[in-house]
């Protein structure tokens, strides 16, 4: 470490802000639906209870695997399952309840299951395998994403300390898809509407970001949406908004024309 006190303090600040990874022991858990709520035009919240002892999720953008029946296998085939990654939006240890939000944007197995889910239905989950823990001690936080990122964004806002400044840029189709977030943070929510443009083919996030006057100070930028869009937004933040590569996470939560994709964009 430098002998210059100012430089030493800066180095300590950078070290304290460094994200870290934590690994967890994983196993499959058999859970049961305890509540279903349609919270927006294209978003369903499912509460799950049951075998949750020891469940650990330390990062707001953690992922658990949900296992759904593979209906394409046919009636005579051995039962098969299809796994999909979802964010544990909320785990309430007192109530022993895990909440998962489902963005209804395609006709895949997760969407079909969520639309038909009823109290008492069974669902097997696995994970999280690990957590990526992003400190909160930045001057402010920037969270950008589409519908698939809203559960993680909502969780981050819920967990940020009171008074923390956060700016959210969220893409949805229209006002009927907007959510209300619970937070003690000083949060500014900016909704960007596609207005009928298919998900993953709109540039509304990039256009809106270009018009935004972001605050001064060190910030962590978190981006999650369609993979190519997330990659482009990362480039835009670095080139136009002074983002720090070490204080940024850009992920493709899905990719147009593909299934079960999760990309991380780095240099």
User: Are residue 143 and residue 78 in the same domain, yes or no?
Assistant: no
pLDDT of 98: 98
d(CA 211, CA 207): 7
Which residue segment(s) compose the domain that 167 sits in? 135-265
User: In this predicted model, what pLDDT tens digit does every residue of 97-148 receive, in sequence order?
Assistant: 999 999 997 778 999 999 999 999 999 999 999 999 999 999 999 999 999 9
CA atoms lying within 13 Å on the CB side of residue 136: 14
User: Quick check: is 208 in a domain?
Assistant: yes
User: Quick check: is 162 in a domain?
Assistant: yes
User: How long is the chain?
Assistant: 267
Place of tokens 């799950």: 48
Q: List the chain residues with pLDDT less than 50.
A: 1-2, 5-12
User: Are residue 101 and residue 67 in the same domain, yes or no?
Assistant: yes
- Closest of 21, 19, 86 to residue 224, by C-alpha: 86
Residue 88's CATH number: 2.40.30.10
User: Quick check: is 80 in a domain?
Assistant: yes
Residue 206's CATH number: 3.40.50.80
Which of 96, 130, 164 marks a domain boundary? Answer: 130
The reported pTM is 0.91
d(CA 238, CA 248): 9
pLDDT of 73: 62
């Amino acid at each position: 470490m430098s002998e210059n006190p100012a430089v030493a303090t800066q180095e300590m600040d950078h070290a304290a802000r460094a994200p870290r990874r934590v690994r967890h022991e994983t196993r499959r858990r058999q859970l049961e639906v305890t509540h279903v709520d349609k919270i927006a035009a294209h978003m369903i919240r499912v509460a799950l209870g049951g075998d949750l002892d020891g469940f650990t999720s330390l990062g707001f953008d953690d992922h658990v695997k949900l296992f759904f029946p593979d209906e394409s296998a046919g009636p005579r085939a051995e039962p098969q399952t299809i796994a999909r990654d979802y964010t544990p939006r909320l785990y309430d240890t007192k109530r022993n309840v895990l909440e998962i939000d489902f963005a209804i944007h395609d006709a895949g197995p997760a969407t079909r299951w969520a639309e038909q889910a009823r109290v008492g239905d069974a669902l097997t989950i696995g994970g999280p395998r690990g957590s990526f823990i992003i400190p909160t001690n930045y001057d402010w936080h920037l969270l950008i994403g589409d519908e698939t990122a809203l559960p993680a964004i909502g969780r981050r806002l819920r967990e940020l300390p009171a008074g923390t400044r956060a700016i959210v840029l969220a893409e949805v189709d229209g006002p009927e898809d907007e959510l209300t977030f619970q937070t003690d943070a000083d949060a500014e929510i900016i909704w960007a509407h596609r207005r009928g443009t298919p998900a993953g083919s709109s540039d509304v996030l990039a256009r809106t970001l270009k018009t935004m006057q972001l605050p001064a100070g060190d910030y962590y930028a978190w981006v999650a949406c369609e993979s190519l869009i997330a990659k482009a937004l990362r480039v835009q933040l670095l080139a136009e908004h002074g983002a720090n590569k070490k204080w940024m996470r850009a992920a493709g939560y899905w990719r147009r024309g593909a299934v079960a994709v999760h990309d991380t964009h780095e240099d």
